[in-house]
Amino acid sequence: GQQVMQIPQYQHVQEGEDFTTYCNSSTTLSNIQWYKQRPGGHPVFLIQLVKSGEVKKQKRLTFQFGEAKKNSSLHITATQTTDVGTYFCAGRSLYNQGGKLIFGQGTELSVKP
Amino acid sequence: EPEVTQTPSHQVTQMGQEVILRCVPISNHLYFYWYRQILGQKVEFLVSFYNNEISEKSEIFDDQFSVERPDGSNFTLKIRSTKLEDSAMYFCASSGIGGAYNSPLHFGNGTRLTVT
């Protein structure tokens, strides 16, 4: 079945350092979404990417969708303590576009002030 | 801003007992989901629901699980005979009129189920 893999599992950074998490799908995706889950909280939608090669920015966050629509990345520039949480990518298979959204394992980011 | 609400926030039950987890999705949403998250692990798909029927379910969602939308507002997940391994955070989510293809999921705060 469809699998979405994410690395690294954990990332500890000093405040001000950059952070990147990578997401890979076993199948071509129709779109990819990114969510952030604060400790003890629920996943909160950040952004969706639909087009091959798409790049979107939200302030210090940059999201990319690969040309083959099988991978994606989230890059945070100059991390802040408010960035702490687990970042999940989630994708729907191109071949089952109305189907389930499959989440990656998440990357837990901790930021040391 | 409208939100998905879930009750209870924490449910403790004995193995073999039935539990019902309740959710009120965002009112104009059409697609409803249950996901679960074992502590520290990934968010796992259980089931999706549209037009009063299950549209997709995972291998986890076996005969012990069922979902229902008993009225116009509630969406419930029932586990008939709980097992220790059912202990997890259960998230309800809904998505909007953009349809299943592109709409983001709006998650509730979750119900933490502890089976003893």
Structure tokens at B18: 């039935």
pLDDT digits (tens, 9 = 90+) for A51-77: 999 999 999 999 999 999 999 999 999
| Residue partners of A82: CB distance under 8 A and separation at least 6 | none
- Sequence ranges of the domains in chain A: 4-51+69-112
Low pLDDT (below 50) residues in chain B: none
The pLDDT value given to residue B78: 98
Q: Is the pLDDT of residue A39 over 70?
A: yes
Give me the residue label for tokens 């909007």.
Answer: B96
The pLDDT value given to residue B72: 78
Give the structural domain span for B38.
Answer: 1-9+21-94
B115: in domain? no
- The shortest C-alpha distance from A78 to chain B (Å) reads 26
Q: What percent of chain A has pLDDT over 90?
A: 88
CATH number given to A4-51+69-112 = 2.60.40.10
**Testing the interface with A: which of B5, B38, B89, B105 to mutate, by most A Cβ within 10 A?**
B105
3-state class (DSSP) for residue B76? strand
**Beta-carbon separation of B91 and A45 below 8 A:** no
Using the Cβ of A44 and the Cβ atoms of chain B, whether some distance falls under 8 Å is answered with yes
B113: in domain? no
- Cβ contacts of A41 on chain B, cutoff 8 Å: 109
